[in-house]
Structure 1
Amino acid sequence: MTSTARRAGAFAVVGALSLAVPVLERLFDRPTTTVAAAVPFLAITAIALAAADDGVLFELFARPGDRRDGRLYGLAGFAFAIAALSVPATYFGMALPAFVTSVVVLSAGNLAAHTARARNVEPFGAMAAFVTGGTLAGIGGYLAAAAILETGFALPEVVFLAATGALTGGLVRSVLFERDEPIVLLVIGLLLWLFSDLEIAVTATGIAAALAVTVALGYVSYALDTASIPGMLTGVLLSLLTLVVGDVGWFAMLITFFGLGGLSSKLRYDQKVKRGIAEPNEGARGSGNVLANSVVALFAVIAHAASPRMAAAPEDLFLFVFAGAVAAAMSDTLSSEIGGLYDNPRLITTFEVVEPGTDGGVTWQGELAGLVGAALIAGIGATAFDLGGRGVGVVVAAGLVGMTVDSVLGATIEGGLVGNQGVNFLATLAAGLAAGGFAIAAGAVTL
């Protein structure tokens, strides 16, 4: 076993100590449990910071950065993050099995990934090992915690939480540095706290189908180079959440955007390179691009699941927010990827002719492609949810609003106040809000 894999194994042992927290929950009342749960991990933090840089403990846990600094900052940060996460788990009502799952998903996933790397597995295989190992360990951690607490559980929901945690951990971990694992742990923990609190109903068939479909599509997107590894993980995570928290209709709209959006970036790629408008990495979209175009839609899915608890927020409202945001993402992507292939674009704010690729430059061909993209998303929504004529009009209009906002922001503030990803997010946000407002005004949603 290499030193990196051995170190990951040592961290996995520390992560397994999270099972002590459910044991303490059985022994003490809540305030005492909160203190008692944090103490062991705070002690590990102190020991890590005080460890001599030539001792056995240092050699076992030290990362390259730790060796430069002469302190086990990696172990200290990891243990302190567990202590911090134990507070909501023992005092604010976070499900303890979800807490344990969060910790072991990250620690066991890291062990699986480093073991794969030690065998010279390519980056995609190492990430697959992280997600697979983290998911299996997360399931085991949840079941062990539930057994200690003698609480019931639904296995499909456990699998959903573990897979969501592993995909989230893989994604956040892939865009941060190794020393940022405390941040990764807290992100996983907070997300699983949210989903465990929502008590999302998941069937065995549903989670099995969702995992099979999303993993297959993720692999295809990576194999076709339409997404980088972080971009692929983002798409798989969002697709899984959309399938489980939403349903097939929501997923159909999202995957249409992912598929056609990714393929459109490959369209006449060599010509786009010459024009200076091509996406980097051979057109493979990264996590930032995918998230910027999808985060509003993801919010809508989660809000839809939580809406039964919100008396003033009907479920259909979030369906329109979702569809409008996805329509805008599709419309903007097609308009830029197709419109950029044509000459003489005009700046949307002044209508003067500009060079292809200029932020805010539009062509009639691109605008037409954007309209078709918005209409496609609206058509899928109409088929899946019987939106009716007014509903279709709402989604198409919201998509065009988002596309227009993207162009206006591109011509005015992009490259200064915000970057391309920020503009994409603001455009989809505007489209989502417009869709909700249009739906209420048109009577498609009743408050």
Structure 2
Amino acid sequence: MDRKLNALLLFVGVVIFIVSADPTQQWNILVGIVLASIFSFGAFVFKGLSLDGMFSAIVVGIFAFGLGGWKLAVVLVLFFVSSVAISDRPTWGKNNIPEYSRRDGLQVWANSFWMVVFLICSTIFKAPIFLIGAIAAIATATSDTWATELGSKDRDNTYLITTFEHVAPGTDGAISVKGTGAALFAAVMISTVSVYVFSLHLSVFIIILITAFLGCFIDSYLGAIFQQNKRIVTVPATKVELKVSNNLVNTISTGLGGLLAIIFKLFFA
């Protein structure tokens, strides 16, 4: 699936490059190819990404820098670097890092798909409001990742979000005091950096902060409803049965975080 997304979005990127009348945007796309390739290859060498994860990260990076400029690229890199820094993985570059610790292509797209979609919409429709959605999607992914990584270390205060039943750390749909604090801090971090580099208003800071924090809780709620119960969802109007995986839950929550930010910006700011 991730390889199909890579091929499809690379095609979209080529089309945007060809039809774009903005030389600056075309130059950004070319520079984005180089920088994204260098950064992603480095992450692969130091065992932060799998091979498929590297290629997916290159595509994501091309869109982030090409359509969002260096400012959005800074926000995206902050998400990735901070997420790796707080993880339980052994030190990068050592031979004892297990293969499963690498982030694969599906994990990359689960956190970045809606950011790319919002950037494409911003470019096609010439509507900067979609850029806020892209930033909020990154903020949601960061908030959820921090909550998961640090919340899993809170062994005494972990509860299922739907029933508040005491559960083991790492349980799908679980929340904790430490995880909630980490989610809030991550949302503040991404919101602050985004507002600074993009010179946005205080109201946008509040919107990104709130929607990222809400998106994190939506992720936990969906995890409790679907992953915890191992529910199979039937796609409407079809007989296709879909297993709700963690990657799908992440994709939905980041998309809702970005969409809520756009709605809040339209109606409340």
Q: Which TM bucket (shorter chain)?
A: 0.7 to 0.9
For residues 21-48 of structure 1, the C-alpha deviation after alignment (integer angstroms, 9 at most, x for no partner) is xxxxxxxxxxxxxxxxxxxxxxxxxxxx
Unpaired segments ≥5 residues, structure 2: 92-96, 233-243
Q: CA deviation at 1:206?
A: 3.9
Report the TM-score when normalising by structure 1: 0.52
Alignment correspondent of 1:437:
263
Alignment correspondent of 2:69:
247
SS in structure 2 opposite 1:357? coil
> CA, structure 1 residues 439+222, in 2 after alignment: closer, same or farther (shift >3 Å)?
same
SS in structure 2 opposite 1:323? helix
State whether structure 2 residue 90 is matched by structure 1 residue 259. Answer: no
Q: CA deviation at 1:383?
A: 0.9
SS in structure 2 opposite 1:265? coil
SS in structure 2 opposite 1:359? coil
Alignment correspondent of 2:245:
419
Unpaired segments ≥5 residues, structure 1: 1-170, 176-183, 270-278, 309-313
Q: CA deviation at 1:204?
A: 7.9
Alignment correspondent of 2:131:
319
Alignment correspondent of 1:233:
55
For residues 394-421 of structure 1, the C-alpha deviation after alignment (integer angstroms, 9 at most, x for no partner) is 0110111110000000000123231111
The 2-side partners of 1:425 and 1:294 are apart by 8
The 2-side partners of 1:367 and 1:436 are apart by 24
Amino acid at match of 1:439: K
The 2-side partners of 1:352 and 1:395 are apart by 30
Alignment correspondent of 2:120:
302
- 8 Å contact kept, 1:227–1:262: no
SS in structure 1 opposite 2:172? coil
> CA, structure 1 residues 189+254, in 2 after alignment: closer, same or farther (shift >3 Å)?
closer
State whether structure 2 residue 6 is matched by structure 1 residue 172. Answer: no
Q: CA deviation at 1:423?
A: 0.3
Alignment correspondent of 1:81:
none
The 1-side partners of 2:9 and 2:201 are apart by 39
Amino acid at match of 2:110: A
The 2-side partners of 1:173 and 1:422 are apart by 16
Amino acid at match of 2:43: S
User: Whose relative contact order is higher, 1 or 2, with alpha carbons under 8 Å and at least 6 apart?
Assistant: 2
> CA, structure 1 residues 320+333, in 2 after alignment: closer, same or farther (shift >3 Å)?
same
Between Structure 1 and Structure 2, which shows a larger proportion of helix residues? 1
SS in structure 1 opposite 2:168? coil
- 8 Å contact kept, 2:9–2:59: no
The 2-side partners of 1:225 and 1:174 are apart by 22
Report the TM-score when normalising by structure 2: 0.83
Amino acid at match of 2:148: S
State whether structure 2 residue 106 is matched by structure 1 residue 288. Answer: yes
The 2-side partners of 1:376 and 1:281 are apart by 30
Q: CA deviation at 1:267?
A: 4.5
Q: How many residues align?
A: 250
Select which of 186, 203, 217 maps to 1:373.
Answer: 186
Alignment correspondent of 1:398:
211
The 2-side partners of 1:426 and 1:215 are apart by 27
The 2-side partners of 1:422 and 1:222 are apart by 23
Q: Greater Rg, structure 1 or structure 2?
A: 1
Amino acid at match of 1:257: F
Select which of 221, 232, 237 maps to 1:408.
Answer: 221
Alignment correspondent of 1:11:
none
Alignment correspondent of 2:94:
none
- 8 Å contact kept, 1:401–1:430: no
Amino acid at match of 1:318: F
Q: CA deviation at 1:326?
A: 0.5
- 8 Å contact kept, 2:64–2:72: yes
> CA, structure 1 residues 187+228, in 2 after alignment: closer, same or farther (shift >3 Å)?
same
The 2-side partners of 1:328 and 1:423 are apart by 12
Q: Once superposed, what is the RMSD of the aligned Cα atoms?
A: 2.7
> CA, structure 1 residues 354+387, in 2 after alignment: closer, same or farther (shift >3 Å)?
same
The 1-side partners of 2:197 and 2:69 are apart by 10
For residues 341-379 of structure 1, the C-alpha deviation after alignment (integer angstroms, 9 at most, x for no partner) is 220310011111011211011111111111111111111
SS in structure 2 opposite 1:387? coil
SS in structure 1 opposite 2:209? helix
The 2-side partners of 1:439 and 1:346 are apart by 32
> CA, structure 1 residues 376+190, in 2 after alignment: closer, same or farther (shift >3 Å)?
closer
State whether structure 2 residue 150 is matched by structure 1 residue 338. Answer: yes
The 1-side partners of 2:98 and 2:209 are apart by 29
> CA, structure 1 residues 206+374, in 2 after alignment: closer, same or farther (shift >3 Å)?
same
Select which of 141, 154, 162 maps to 1:349.
Answer: 162
Q: CA deviation at 1:320?
A: 1.2
Q: CA deviation at 1:187?
A: 6.9
Q: CA deviation at 1:213?
A: 2.2
The 2-side partners of 1:214 and 1:330 are apart by 19
The 2-side partners of 1:249 and 1:426 are apart by 25
State whether structure 2 residue 32 is matched by structure 1 residue 210. Answer: yes
The 1-side partners of 2:38 and 2:12 are apart by 27
Amino acid at match of 2:154: Y
- 8 Å contact kept, 1:206–1:244: yes
